[in-house]
Amino acid sequence: MDFIVSAKLKIQGTFKIIIVNSFFDNESQEIISDIAKKENCDFLPIENKGYGYGNNQGINWALEHYDFKYLIISNPDIEILNLSVSDLNSSDEIIGPNIRTLSGKKQNPYFYFKLGFIEMLKYYAFKFDSKTIFYFGIIINKFLRESMLFINRILNKDKFRVYALHGSFIIFNRNVFEKMKIVFYEKMFLFSEEVYLAWNAKKLNLKLMVNNRINVLHKEDGSVTLIGDKVSKYEKESFFEYYLLKKGK
């Protein structure tokens, strides 16, 4: 509900919310359907074939039923703090906002640069179930990302190009879909959507940008643990799908 309420308060102009519900059980589907009716949202019940499949179904529904300029894919635990259409003025960009968690952590960009070395580390971390290799890659990426964000703050840059955006809130210009026919790779059930989208966009010469004039609060705050006593099954399987696809295997 926080997302719906914040959208109605913060988005100027005409818009429509499409709620995509990947089936979990009848009770949750009925609750979500009632919310959609009450808030005048489209309700799209689908099979639970993963996050990417659900996003693609929502995109296709919007393209078939509405004439729009921008489409936002958002997690339900997002609260929009500031979003002006005047900040969305390019036809070939995919935009990510300034995303902060409840603890104040910044989540964009996901990757500032294309880092094949870190992806290789992640592949071997999953292959050998090595937390050491996994966290070594995270530390390198975090150092590079924080260094570049610090430089951007010094330069007072509100908008800058990055390699990969965090997947919890992404803004697409409709023109992007003319090049990117299938946005998400449906063989990945959950996780790794960000790196697949970045890789696919780069092949199509589409720019991924962070725009800090747009602000959202992500209330998940890292509650989904990528690695614990065992490497996450979904994270591991999805990353292998992406990595081997990229390698042409």
pLDDT at 227: 44
pLDDT band at residue 230, thresholds of 50, 70 and 90? very low
C-alpha–C-alpha distance, residues 190 and 50, integer Å: 6
What pTM does this model have? 0.88
Question: Cα separations (Å) of 112 from 78, 89, 218?
Answer: 22, 22, 20
C-alpha–C-alpha distance, residues 157 and 155, integer Å: 5
pLDDT band at residue 223, thresholds of 50, 70 and 90? very low
pLDDT band at residue 246, thresholds of 50, 70 and 90? confident
Query: Contact, 162 vs 209, CB < 8 A?
Result: yes
pLDDT at 231: 46
Going by their DSSP bridges, the two strands 70-74 and 169-173 should be labelled as antiparallel
Q: Count the helices and strands in the chain (H runs, E runs).
A: 8, 8
Report CA dihedral (75, 232, 141, 50) to the nearest 10 degrees.
-30
Lowest mean pLDDT among 17-26, 87-96, 121-130, 203-212: 87-96
C-alpha–C-alpha distance, residues 178 and 59, integer Å: 12
C-alpha–C-alpha distance, residues 228 and 231, integer Å: 6
Residue 63 in tokens: 């393209």
Looking at the DSSP bridge assignments, the partners of residue 163 are: none
pLDDT per residue as tens digits for the range 202-211: 999 999 999 9
Query: Contact, 236 vs 190, CB < 8 A?
Result: no
pLDDT band at residue 249, thresholds of 50, 70 and 90? low
Q: Using the predicted structure, report yes or no on whether residue 226 has a pLDDT greater than 50.
A: no
pLDDT band at residue 216, thresholds of 50, 70 and 90? very high
Q: Using the predicted structure, report yes or no on whether residue 134 has a pLDDT greater than 70.
A: yes
Q: What would the mean pLDDT of 217-233 be, rounded to a whole number?
A: 60
Counting residues of the chain whose pLDDT is more than 70, the rounded percentage is 95
C-alpha–C-alpha distance, residues 153 and 149, integer Å: 6
Q: What would the mean pLDDT of 94-121 be, rounded to a whole number?
A: 91
